[in-house]
Structures are given as structure tokens and as C-alpha cells.
Amino acid sequence: MQSATQSNDLGSYLKSRRAQLDPGALGFHTARRRTPGLRREEVAHLACISATWYTWLEQGRGGTPSAPVLERICQALRLTGHEREHLFHLALGRAPGVQPLAKGTVTERLQKVLDCMPLSPAMIRNATWDVLAWNKAATVVLSDYPNQPARERNILRRIFLHPQARAAQADWHALARFLVAAFRADATRAGASAEIRPLVEELSAASPEFAELWGNNDVEVMGEGTKILLHGAVGRLSLEYSSFCVEGQPDLTMVVYNPSTQEDAGKIGSLLEKSAG
């Protein structure tokens, strides 16, 4: 049940979004309009709801609309993702469900964020855990991404199908279990269950270990932790990682690995110097 304040806030927000729309661009006549934007009955028509009830919603007396009705109103008002989320919070006190996945884009600004961390390997992955962007430190510590085909930049393919990547893990079995559980949670959060199916089928057929772990239905959150690598050139590396969702792009996650000690930072520095030489 909404409070009177919530109902009034919802009504005010709906009215403000309606006023932003161009009637002509949406196929409505533009003559004899005393106020900007669409009329209430036009929004109701686009949302397939009663004009009377939509009017009540804007007046703060329409009650609590259902999630499907809110979705239709969002579409009628041409709301952005952030506006849609705000409307759901006003109406239902919660975030909306995940929308169908849209492919995220690594912008130049995002790449600059990665590049501003010279001693911290960092990368951006999508919902299927393909690595889309990286900094120089990531190429000398994690994997030689620039010289790999896009298909081979997938984190799970490397962990389960590449012996070299497997040998570099201090505790491969624990890592594999954790990654599969975190992958499942990431895909669900991003609404990518259909998109990951081909990869899951491929890995299940190629790796009995992956098939077993996927069948466990475990769920983990990546969050923060410590990763131990056995690097072929500098030996043991301890990295403290943190993962961040990219605002407005639910399928993109940035993962940053900070050296745990000055000794680890020095090892990364030596790898970068060798690479530059």
C-alpha cells in the first residue's frame, strides 16, 4: 500500500515525464495544445490502460499499479533505464526486474580508467565473461589479450580448457568452483541466461569438471578477495581484487587487481619494464 506522499511523488513524476514528449514525433496531432507534451489520454492509449485510471495515477489517487502496467507506462513515456528504475521505486518501493540484455560498450572514458592504474591489472568483462578491455598491467600479469583471438579472451574457456592458465593458479579447484558460481550469479543479474547457454553447453561438453560444477547450481558474488598467481617469469604474485558493475550497462563488470605488497608491485613493475624493452 502506497502512502499519500508516495502517490503524490509518483503522480508528479509521471506528469513531468509526459511533458517532455513530442506529440508529433509519436504520431499525435499538435494543434490546440495549451501545455507541452502528451495529453493524459494519449499516454493511456500508448500504455493500453484506462485514461481515467491514468489520470488518477497522476493525481495521486490511482492506487498501486502492477509491474506489468508500470512496464507499459515506461514504454509509453519512453523512459530511459534510470528513469524506469526511479519510477518502479516510486510506485512499488523496489527496483524493476532485469530487462533483456543489451550489449555493453567500453567507452574511451572507461578505457582511460583502466589505463590510469599502471601497476594494477584491470579489465572489463561482459556477462558471458569475454574480456572486452584491459590495461597494460593486465597483459603482462593475467593474459596476453591483444595477441589473442576474441574467442580466446573468455575467462572460463581459459581456466577450463587451457593448461597454461590452469597451471598458473595456486589452487585451481577452489578457483574453478568459485568462478562458475560467480558466473551463474553475474549472468542472472544481467538477464543473460539465454546468452550464456551456448558457452555453458560448449564447456560442459569439453570439460567434465565444468559440467559437474555447473550442475551444482552454486551461486557466489565476486565482490572482493585475494588471487594468488604462479607467474612464469616472477613467481608467486598476490593480488587483491575488487569488482565493480558499470553503471547503466548491466552486462559489464570492471575487475581491478591491486598488488598485495610492495614486493608484488615491484614484480609487476619489472614485467612492465621487460615488456617495454
DSSP labels for the chain?
Answer: ---HHHHHHHHHHHHHHHHTS-TGGGT---SS-SSSS--HHHHHHHHTS-HHHHHHHHTT-S----HHHHHHHHHHTT--HHHHHHHHHHHHSSPPPPPPP------HHHHHHHHT-TTS-EEEE-TT-BEEEE-HHHHHHT--GGGS-GGGGBHHHHHHH-HHHHHTBTTHHHHHHHHHHHHHHHHHHTT-HHHHHHHHHHHHHH-HHHHHHHHTT------EEEEEEEETTTEEEEEEEEEEEPTT-TT-EEEEEEESSHHHHHHHHHHHHHHH-
pLDDT of residue 100: 53
pLDDT of residue 237: 98
CATH 3.30.450.180 fits 108-276, yes or no: yes
Sequence ranges of the chain with CATH classification 3.30.450.180: 108-276
CA pair distance 202, 81, nearest whole angstrom: 33
pLDDT of residue 72: 94
In the sheet that holds 253-259, the strands lie side by side as 131-134, 122-125, 253-259, 235-245, 224-231
Strand-strand pairing, 253-259 and 235-245: antiparallel
User: Do residues 238 and 259 lie in contact, with contact meaning Cβ atoms separated by under 8 Å?
Assistant: yes
- How confident is the prediction along the chain (277 residues), in pLDDT tens digits per residue? 456 666 778 888 899 999 999 988 888 888 788 888 999 999 999 999 999 999 999 998 877 888 899 999 999 999 988 788 888 888 888 777 665 555 678 999 999 999 999 999 999 999 899 999 999 999 999 999 999 999 999 999 999 999 999 999 999 999 999 999 999 988 877 778 888 999 999 999 999 999 999 999 898 888 899 999 999 999 999 999 999 988 878 789 999 999 999 999 999 999 999 999 7
pTM of the model: 0.72
Sequence ranges of the chain with CATH classification 1.10.260.40: 4-92
pLDDT of residue 247: 81
CA pair distance 243, 223, nearest whole angstrom: 5
Radius of gyration of the chain (CA): 25
User: Do residues 104 and 253 lie in contact, with contact meaning Cβ atoms separated by under 8 Å?
Assistant: no
CA pair distance 29, 74, nearest whole angstrom: 22
Q: What topology is assigned to 4-92 in CATH?
A: 434 Repressor (Amino-terminal Domain) (1.10.260)
